[in-house]
Structure 1
């Protein structure tokens, strides 16, 4: 019985190996070879720095408030913050009254107390940011058949997320003539927009930040396109990891404890074995 079982197991792995080999060879033969437009013209994110970067980095609440203002006035029309509640904004330095006013400026699903029917009501601090579209069908209809992603975790969901968001927002440009010349079939389709920082170079989202002063900052900061892109990117770092500062503080405390324990252990070792001969 054991011999039969071992034969069957060996046969299974042999078949699996053969299938993997044949499938890999088929893909290698059928897939196009050589350089692609995405490989040749896709750019890595720009080099940009934020206050929260590094082991000692901390959030700049003033910048986060500016970033939230950009999100609210520009991005919220298409993108949700599904995992962020209005009350969380208190961490950015907003007062309770300001949080209540911000929440009331959004409409969230609720129930009509008179009829019991579903309706939209002003938000409260305990509510989460609402989705801008009723469903994916409505989202696709309004965005050239693309569903705008939720931005709550975008800074963590993308490699080098903050720099990626900043680069994407500031990276829109005309499609290079050499791209079309080298890859004739890669011309940006109607309704899409060329951006070399996007994986396949063309995306449905039009440039959201188009002109300086598009947002009027309450703290008087000059709202250039570059500044707005940096601020909203910094804000999305916070939405993705609001406890970033606490994590770093805890990490340093743990490292300090481990260093102390290591030194204490070494001193104990030397004390116990000091009179012992090897």
Structure 2
């Protein structure tokens, strides 16, 4: 390598280093720490959803989150489909009937009416429209949670993003949701004037008051009367985050399974092509020297 090339390479490395240092400083200046990575059953190429966790997460959503947040892209029947919470069809029918939904077409008198939900219906919004939602929540409508398990993420920064390239870690969204659920600070720093202080939220000022509290949602019990998992904010946060990941990607297990089948097919096909090539060229080489 010539002296000129060495100088160019050194300049590029210096620029890259400055960019990385600058990016790290910029993130630190925001004052929000990186959400800690959690253990998820659906991580990795062979990961699958924990059915019991999805059912608990739905229970947390229904009893807490659904008061303000909708699931407009999710139908009741999705809860019974393979790869999800897998409630029975009878459970889904009973659940849907507990909701009042607006019928898609008017009645014989031309009136729009409300009726009990059916499995084919989508989850109704807790508010009639965005204006009503904003009025009831301090001027800003709460976001729909259908795609939150994919939409919310964060930058892990250097060098974690390089590690993620090799480990294929893609669970930043549930990590972030769990961190927000558990990141509320009871006594914010002096001078803070926001609605609520959350150490993982951008600028720490979040408009949503702390939604979860220990013992708030009752979980299924064991034979000895104790909950199957702790009824704590941390567990609630993990369960609802897992449920929202499924809601955003309900066919994740089928997608991973198909991907692995495609990879195995390509491996076998590559082997067959290699040995076919060897046989053809061996014959051609023998004919050439015959």
Specify the TM-score bucket, using the shorter chain as the normaliser: 0.7 to 0.9
Tell me what 2:12 maps to.
none
Tell me what 2:232 maps to.
224
Alignment of 1:1-278 (within 5 A): 39-91=29-81, 92-110=85-103, 113=107, 115-159=109-153, 160-173=172-185, 174-177=187-190, 187-189=192-194, 192-210=195-213, 212-219=214-221, 220-221=227-228, 222-274=230-282, 276=285
- 1:128–1:38 CA distance, 2 compared to 1 (3 A): farther
Paired residues of 1:45 and 1:163 also in contact (CA < 8 A): yes
Count of matched residue pairs: 233
**What is the TM-score of this pair, normalised by structure 2?**
0.75
Offset, 1:202: 1.0
Structural RMSD (CA): 2.2
Q: Secondary structure at the match of 1:76?
A: helix
**What is the TM-score of this pair, normalised by structure 1?**
0.78
- 1:171–1:272 CA distance, 2 compared to 1 (3 A): same
Aligned partners of 1:244, 1:258: CA distance in 2, in Å? Answer: 21
Paired residues of 1:38 and 1:201 also in contact (CA < 8 A): no
Offset, 1:36: 7.7
Aligned partners of 1:95, 1:250: CA distance in 2, in Å? Answer: 25
Offset, 1:52: 0.9
- 1:261–1:36 CA distance, 2 compared to 1 (3 A): closer
Paired residues of 2:180 and 2:198 also in contact (CA < 8 A): yes
Aligned partners of 1:193, 1:36: CA distance in 2, in Å? Answer: 23
Aligned partners of 2:181, 2:77: CA distance in 1, in Å? Answer: 27
Q: Any unmatched runs of 5+ in structure 2?
A: 1-24, 154-171, 222-226
